[in-house]
Amino acid sequence: MAQSVSMVKKSLILSLVVGMVVGMGNGSVFGIYLMANLGRGAFRDWGGWGADSYSPFGYFNGFMTWTMLVFGFAFIWILLSALYGHDKMSKVSQGGGH
């Protein structure tokens, strides 16, 4: 009997790409929601020069960048957890273990 490769291993790269794209998309929607409810503020508060634009504390652009990254990694974790659970249930239903 050939040993099957787990679903997580077969779809790892796809899970990383899809999880990050979907998560960052949802993070940007979350940012637009915040912008609409909190107000846009002055234009000078939106960005910065160089590495300052990535600071989550000084500028809205930095906050949005980090929000999108956090949402992306969260969606990767959710997707891989779901695939792992599906793989586990599929092995049990085929009589492959606990």
Q: With respect to residue 82, please indicate whether it lies within any of the assigned structural domains.
A: yes
Please state, as a whole number, how many other Cβ atoms lie within 10 Å of the Cβ of residue 7. Answer: 19
Q: pLDDT tens digits, residue range 12-71?
A: 899 999 999 999 999 989 888 887 787 766 666 666 677 777 777 777 788 888 899 999
Is 43 domain-assigned?
Answer: yes
Residue 9 domain-assigned?
A: no
State residue 44's pLDDT score: 66
3-class secondary-structure state, position 6: coil
For the cut 60, the answer to whether the pLDDT of residue 96 exceeds it is no
pLDDT at 2: 56
Residue 12 domain-assigned (yes or no): no
Domains in the chain, number: 1
pLDDT at 4 over 80: no
Q: Identify whether 32 is part of a domain.
A: yes
Does residue 66 lie within any of the structural domains?
yes
Full residue range of the structural domain in which residue 43 is found = 20-93
Alpha carbons 67 and 58: distance in angstroms, whole number? 14
